[in-house]
């Protein structure tokens, strides 16, 4: 069965949700600028959420550095910053709801036991392992999820053959990204998710969770990601250089140019943002998955 997605009808609420695993780099700035401008041209709100779900990967002080970098570039958020590490009770409530519906199961499979399989083969599907002592997976079905992405076009994903049963709480008790994002988008009233194309394959998983939890589904737009000339994504894990906070105009000019909106020379950040907010058009953003940067 093809599941069609009905867009929400609320006013526009967008968000930028970095992980505090290091300072902001150019790839992150691209996502922030794109999501910020989409919110502003729709006269909406732009929220910032710190996705600090994974303590072993969180670098002390990184959250403050990210917020400082956003402020230095005059990317001002419209509500208090939300920290996922403080919201476990919300994720547990959603997990309990899914458990009551019978759509989750405990899984004792390690990564090594799965032998690199891209789609979970269902080893624990009917094993009835207790949730408290195991990873928890969402039970998916062979149905198709479709959505129209703002830049990547029509999307069709088969939950059974392309996604499979996926983890929503890890064996160590930490809640998985997919569940936390869905819960927070719902509770914050997010209507539009603008982020990098590296997260495109997360969207069918999140839509599957939204449907099981009876949440509205936001509209989605996945921007091209910045990659090296060899095709490697710019990321904190790949030691991408942090933004130079002494050159915010140059940084924003590069990000806008990357997104198909090369600005004129300006003398201030205020003038640059004024130009960007009057000239931004979604249709000018390159409709591709990645763009090399030098």
Q: pTM of the prediction?
A: 0.93
Examine the pLDDT at 9 and tell me if it is beyond 80: no
Quote the percentage of the chain above a pLDDT of 70.
95
State the sign of the Cα–Cα–Cα–Cα dihedral 107, 51, 206, 103.
positive
Read off the pLDDT band of 127 (50, 70, 90): confident
What's the confidence (pLDDT) of residue 238? 67
Rounded mean pLDDT, 93-116: 93
Grouping H, G, I as helix, E, B as strand and the rest as coil, residue 150 is coil
Rounded mean pLDDT, 2-6: 42
Least confident of 1-15, 38-52, 240-254: 1-15
**Pick from 142, 149, 146: nearest CA to 200:** 149
Query: What would the pLDDT profile of 204-251 be if each residue is shown by its tens digit?
Result: 999 999 999 999 999 999 999 999 888 888 876 666 889 999 999 999
Residue in the block written with tokens 């794109």: 34
What's the confidence (pLDDT) of residue 10? 56
Rounded mean pLDDT, 196-200: 97
8 Å CB contact between 209 and 182:
yes
What's the confidence (pLDDT) of residue 3? 41
Pure H helices in 146-262: 177-187, 202-213, 248-258
Phi, psi of 174 (to 5 degrees): -80, 135
What's the confidence (pLDDT) of residue 89? 98
DSSP letter, residue 160 = I
What the chain holds in terms of domains, given with CATH numbers, is: 10-292 (3.40.50.620)
What's the confidence (pLDDT) of residue 239? 60
What's the confidence (pLDDT) of residue 229? 85
What's the confidence (pLDDT) of residue 84? 98
Between 128 and 135, where is the model more confident? Answer: 135
Q: What is the mean pLDDT of the chain?
A: 93
What's the confidence (pLDDT) of residue 117? 86
8 Å CB contact between 14 and 192:
yes
Rounded mean pLDDT, 160-188: 96
Read off the pLDDT band of 26 (50, 70, 90): very high
Between 241 and 179, where is the model more confident? Answer: 179
What's the confidence (pLDDT) of residue 234? 82
What's the confidence (pLDDT) of residue 7? 46
Rounded mean pLDDT, 18-23: 95
Examine the pLDDT at 4 and tell me if it is beyond 80: no
Rounded mean pLDDT, 272-284: 98
What's the confidence (pLDDT) of residue 231? 83
């Amino acid at each position: 069965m093809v599941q069609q997605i009905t867009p929400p009808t609320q006013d526009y609420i967008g968000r930028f949700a970095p992980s505090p695993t290091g300072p902001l780099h150019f790839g992150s700035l691209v996502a922030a600028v794109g999501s910020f401008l989409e919110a502003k041209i729709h006269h909406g709100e732009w929220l910032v959420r710190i996705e600090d779900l994974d303590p072993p990967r969180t670098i002390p002080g990184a959250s403050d550095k990210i917020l400082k970098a956003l402020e230095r570039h005059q990317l001002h958020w419209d509500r208090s910053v939300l920290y996922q590490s403080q919201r476990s009770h919300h994720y547990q409530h959603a997990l309990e709801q899914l458990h009551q519906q019978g759509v989750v199961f405990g899984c004792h499979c390690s990564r090594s036991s799965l032998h690199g399989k891209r789609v979970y083969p269902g080893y624990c599907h009917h094993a009835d392992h207790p949730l408290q002592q195991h990873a928890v997976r969402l039970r998916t079905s062979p149905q198709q999820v479709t959505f129209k992405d703002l830049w990547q076009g029509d999307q069709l994903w088969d939950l059974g053959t392309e996604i499979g049963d996926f983890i929503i709480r890890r064996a160590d008790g930490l809640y998985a990204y997919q569940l936390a994002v869905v819960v927070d988008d719902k509770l914050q009233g997010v209507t539009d998710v603008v982020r990098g194309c590296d997260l495109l394959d997360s969207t069918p998983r999140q839509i599957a969770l939204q449907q099981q939890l009876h949440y509205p589904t936001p509209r989605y737009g996945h921007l091209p990601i910045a990659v090296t000339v060899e095709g490697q994504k710019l990321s904190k894990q790949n030691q991408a250089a942090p933004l130079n906070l002494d050159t915010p105009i140059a940084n924003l000019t590069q990000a806008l140019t990357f997104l198909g909106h090369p600005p004129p020379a300006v003398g201030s950040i205020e003038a640059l943002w004024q130009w960007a907010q009057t000239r931004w058009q979604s249709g000018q953003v390159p409709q591709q998955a990645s763009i090399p940067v030098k």
